[in-house]
Structure 1
């Protein structure tokens, strides 16, 4: 990852409370990054289709109306323009079958939405550290 570029994280989730949890966790960790929240998959798709600056990592909820997380990841993976975006499934639950399908699409990170703040901060720290090492 280019060390001069600020990390850009995105969250796509139909629960607005998740935005607050992410922002608080990032502030707590002292991580300086760009962060953008999208309350629906169509909003995220509209954004990335015209954006000059694409997210480095997008955290995607699986269970959303209109376009599911699985469909969103497929849309991103099917377009070479978005190859630089690392998709991470961030969901309350995911079946083994859903995981298997997502892995065939190039999604290698799955995180169950934590019930504890410490779990969220640990997950974010690990994801960001791994991305920074690339």
Structure 2
């Protein structure tokens, strides 16, 4: 579903919480996947990075509630930019609001992951996403 020629090489985590960024990177390191993780603290910073074409991630993990530019506005903007619109975006949020899930899906997010409360759960979740390209969230399609 998200894999480019069978391999994910780069991903972008857009999250304003520095601790969440660090935990995410630590969880990736635990999995021994050769993936480079870029980070941005909000949607505007991420958009600036992507528009300079310094890199093009294979997958974006996107928090919803951030300053300057929230996740929904960021998602809307990248879907309007030709060289960015086909990058798969997974919403990665603490919110479990059905309305937000539906909005994200209608705007082109490929998945919605509620941030796990425990580190080992995050590791398991990332393992599933990175090896199978799917999760057990409401967006999973059999």
Q: Provide the TM-score with structure 1 as the length reference.
A: 0.88
Unaligned runs of 5+ in 1: none
Alignment partners' CA distance in 1, 2:124 and 2:53: 29
**Contact 1:38 1:44 (C-alpha < 8 Å) held by counterparts:** yes
**Contact 1:61 1:69 (C-alpha < 8 Å) held by counterparts:** yes
Alignment partners' CA distance in 2, 1:72 and 1:92: 17
After superposition, the CA RMSD in angstroms is: 1.6
Q: Secondary structure at the match of 2:95?
A: coil
Matched, 1:9 2:15: no
Matched, 1:112 2:114: yes
- Structure-2 residue corresponding to 1:65: 67
Unaligned runs of 5+ in 2: 134-142
Alignment partners' CA distance in 1, 2:106 and 2:25: 31
Q: Secondary structure at the match of 1:51?
A: coil
- Structure-2 residue corresponding to 1:75: 77
- Structure-1 residue corresponding to 2:89: 87
**Contact 1:6 1:34 (C-alpha < 8 Å) held by counterparts:** no
**Contact 2:8 2:58 (C-alpha < 8 Å) held by counterparts:** no
Alignment partners' CA distance in 2, 1:41 and 1:51: 16
CA distance 1:82–1:10, change in 2 (3 Å): same
Q: How many residues align?
A: 130
**Contact 2:27 2:122 (C-alpha < 8 Å) held by counterparts:** yes
Q: Provide the TM-score with structure 2 as the length reference.
A: 0.84
Q: Secondary structure at the match of 1:66?
A: coil
Q: Secondary structure at the match of 1:18?
A: helix
Stretches (4+) displaced over 2 A: none
Greater helix share, structure number: 1
